[in-house]
Structure 1
């Protein structure tokens, strides 16, 4: 019979004491239950799509015959589900690639006159989870600060495109002066809100009932912003987690599409393992240059509009193969990382896909969507009606519920997509 250990047990020698981590035997001593790891969500979007004939099997089910692209993910066949026949309705916007703005929001008619984007699913989740982590959400991009994350007012949240900066924010403590400046910035924000709030109260005494309702909503948003600032301020006094990783090197060459994408994806497991954030988005964008990949001699965007030219399709598939290899490596890192009695992937719902189903025709229907991890029963290909698509937001609703955010609707959903 083992004697329960005290939580304060330590190893002592030569005047040095090293505290022990929380062990299973300590749980018995202090009467604690094992704390389950948190649920998380990661979205990864390749904005120029994936060549459909190389991705989708001919028949659905768990016994589907693999394809050229799925062979790249064969080591993780039981860790993901592939969907066909999902899309957002009314996505014919002003410009063919405007659907990049709405992959996570489902706002209709992107880019047309009067268009206003809506909240993205990652920001909806982050708003519900709040400052449970140092960063409620993190948006990453392989090229520029253009992101797919939008606030409730339809304002884009700039993405981080420099891995070294992201690593520093996550894991490197700033100097006392940097912390002071950060705290002063937060205090300045609060003082501005205090001033606006006082003006709002004064206006309330001079306006109609209808105007007061509108101002009350505005005032509520101010109070929410104040709460966020207080939460952010509290994190300044908490030490950042330590990781046994060297800071990543930024890749300045825009032509190194794969290197940039891989470096960003490598940051995600670190961020999740240290519980620095539970909501992360990654967008892989067109870099407007010829990617430095053997066998590729044209720009990614131009190759995506191949017009059935076999040579262009061949080069496009080379690029997409490398992107999918990055995703396969990401899944491997997520499965190697352990927590509690499982893997990091088991508590993380990962959505990988694109805003374009057929980039050659700028077609935003029949999107390639892969759901990995999250504790779902995977290992199948699910094909919905390719002529009358199921709303992608139905899957968003399922994922939101899976990470602990109870909701019946999101965006253009018509229900909850049940994963068989």
Structure 2
């Protein structure tokens, strides 16, 4: 058999066949299979953004499908990026209900968040961080606007607190601590590793005194301890590396409860610069809107009360002004990413920006037909994918497509049924 006619081995198939999650060495027979998976040039990134009060459907969803759709008022704000984004309709998270409760499931798709005893699952950004987070100083950034809650959840379903202070985030990203501060942080990390060493040794000793079933559980626990030790060791290495210097002046924090757009703008700026400096490749941003009146001309009350508009024209107009301002900030974020070179393309070309909400309709608290779009990331865009028929199409399929674009070998996340139909990589 010639090399050209050889039947090559898929690494994914091998992993399934063995029934383990270990990374195998790269064999010659696997090279062509990897060539297609690693097509993107340079590192790929993800920014996932959710606004928590829904988006007015009639101003978001376009008329027509495919590439010839007529842009809605909100999409007209993003017209410069029409060829760099895809708009979805007819998508939702299967079995995610509960009105506002669904906001905690935007990146997890865990079912029935409104039911008693609900337990969340891992969010897509943290799923990715477990696999590629070690490549950057910060495995991920979990950011928030107007709240300390976040979109990000660990493997065990625990919410990661959101960073809502721009000044604190700036210091974390770009301000080098003094020699004494660095040494103190290194001491903490080393102390943590020593504790884990003791715990791991104790687990091994205990394994000699228990049955085979318990030994399997302890082996899994010990593996987790060792993985954490490796991450702490990596953190030690990063602590000894200088942080990047940036031209951005240290940002201010906002005490004004109405500074919704101002807070959003600075968090988007910091997320963009974090990507540009390769400080991280994974960012989630929770834009939380409450009863506070935002500082937007023509708006006299908070976002949440306005979502209960009952189709009253004056409330709809105010809500539209708020959402238009948010889409203006999204356009600025996309523009900033597009202006930066990432080697072989712009930063936008290598960053999948997901923007949406877990409320299909804030007025009725519906959780179906979610307004969602994706920009950048090196996909074939310029289209409206209408995917809903008798029932909504699984939004987690989008996460699988993005995870694969990040170079993560998976064909499943949460309630996905595959990759996103109609969304292809360049």
Moved more, 381-390 or 100-109: 381-390
Q: 1:59 aligns with which of 50, 59, 64?
A: 64
Structure-1-length-normalised TM-score = 0.89
Instruction: Give 1:86's aligned residue.
Output: 91
Asked if 1:147 is matched to 2:150, the reply is yes
User: Unpaired runs of 5+ in structure 1?
Assistant: 1-34
Q: Which residue of 1 aligns with 2:317?
A: 314
What corresponds to 2:301 in structure 1?
Answer: 298
Instruction: Deviation per CA, 1:193-249: give whole Å up to 9, x if none.
Output: 122222212321222221221121111111111111001111011111111221111
1:189 aligns with 2:192: yes
1:254–1:287: 8 Å Cα contact kept in structure 2? Answer: no
Q: Please say which of residues 105-114 and 313-322 is displaced more in the overlay.
A: 105-114
Give the aligned partner of residue 347 of structure 2. Answer: 344
3-state DSSP class of the match of 2:193? helix
CA root-mean-square deviation = 1.4
Write the distance in 1 (CA, Å) between the matches of 2:321 and 2:41: 41
Is the partner of 1:263 in helix, strand or coil?
Answer: helix
What pairs with 1:9-408 in structure 2 (closer than 5 Å)? 36-93=41-98, 96-385=99-388, 387-408=390-411
Is the Cα contact below 8 Å between 1:83 and 1:383 reproduced in 2? yes
Secondary structure of the corresponding residue to residue 361 of structure 1: coil
Counterpart Cα distance in 1 of 2:135 and 2:185: 19
**Cα deviation 1:129-181 (Å, max 9, x = unaligned):** 03110001001100222001011011111111111111111111001121122
Cα contact 2:41–2:344 (8 A) shared by 1 = no
CA contact (8 A) 2:63 2:71 kept: no
Q: Is the contact made by 1:136 and 1:279 (CA closer than 8 Å) also made in structure 2?
A: yes
Q: Which moved more, 1:179-188 or 1:118-127?
A: 179-188
The alignment's TM-score, normalised by the length of structure 2, stands at 0.88
CA contact (8 A) 2:133 2:140 kept: no
Q: How many residues align?
A: 384
Contact 1:107 1:411 in 2 (8 A): yes
Asked whether the 8 Å contact 2:291–2:305 carries over to 1, the reply is: no
What's the counterpart of residue 10 of structure 1?
none
How far 1:80 sits from its partner (Å)? 0.7
SS for the counterpart of 1:307 is coil
